[in-house]
Amino acid sequence: MASAFPSSAKRSRTSAEAPSVRKQGKEVSIPWEEICPALISEWLDTFSKANNTTRDILLASVLPTVACLMGPSTVKVDCRMRTESINLYMICLCDPGAGKSPAFHHGCAQPIRLHVEAKEDNPLFVDEFTEAGLFRQLKSTPGHKAIIGKEEVSQFFDQLLGASREKSRIDMERMIQLYDGSTWVYTRADKSARQVIDSPGVSVSGYSQPNRFFPIYVKLKERQDGAVDRILMYQPLPHRLAAHETKEYITKLNNSKLKDLR
């Protein structure tokens, strides 16, 4: 059924939602007492503050990283025994100086680069954003899993939304399929080979300044294909510390023992 609204009216209406979305993003609170034991929650709070960020901001790196390492797999959802792909696309909106750089480094980049890729020779970070490149990486990686990590994710989504003009590049439709864990059938341009990956595991960890991402949000919303519904987006409040406070948390962190978290 054709819409009664012209495209310009749709854009205007969707653009008007951005302030409301920003307000809702700020109102989202992380229920730490429900998702992890108190000792771990306290340690994450100490660790993040010792590294000039917050545990809420750090979470946008930690959860997709864990999802990547666990994937591809499914989790049971509610009492209906329905399963969903564990793939997770998570974007944290941060104003400058909120601590997104240390959060991304300690929650995603360092654990993946130093503790997985370097030790296991298992490439998980996606570096080539073409259909052939990503398929080749997933096909050669045990478990067919990968993570897209971006300290500033807005440019990546701009490329996704404009990729339809470049047939060789990953586009938003492909990202939707990957999120859902759908089977990926890849055929070379010359039709000489056909390969299949069942249930690929791809997660996204990203940060962006709010004003840079909201125009992208509008475009995602206008697609009306569920793209925006697959992105977990929130905007935690920053918690800036004085230098002496940071030193206190560093001391506390150095005196804590990971074995005490068991």
Q: Does domain 58-237 have CATH number 3.40.50?
A: yes
pLDDT of 34 over the 60 cut: yes
- pLDDT value, residue 239: 79
Please state, rounded to an integer, the average pLDDT across all residues of the chain. 83
pLDDT tens string 37-85? 888 899 999 999 999 999 999 999 999 999 998 876 655 555 555 566 7
Arithmetic mean of pLDDT, 195-204: 91
- Indicate the burial class of 175 (C-beta count within 10 angstroms; 0-12, 13-18, 19 or more): buried
Q: What is the pLDDT of residue 78?
A: 58
Q: Is the pLDDT of residue 11 over 60?
A: no
CA 108 to chain centre: 10
Sheet holding 201-208, edge to edge: 145-150, 201-208, 89-93, 231-234
pLDDT band at 18 (very low <50, low <70, confident <90, very high): low
Cis status, amide bond into 72, omega within 30 of 0: yes
Band (pLDDT 50/70/90 cuts) for residue 104 is very high
141: number of Cβ within 10 Å:
15
Predicted pLDDT at 12: 55
pLDDT tens profile 111-123: 898 878 777 777 8
Domain edges within the chain:
58-237
pTM of the model: 0.83
pLDDT of residue 113: 87
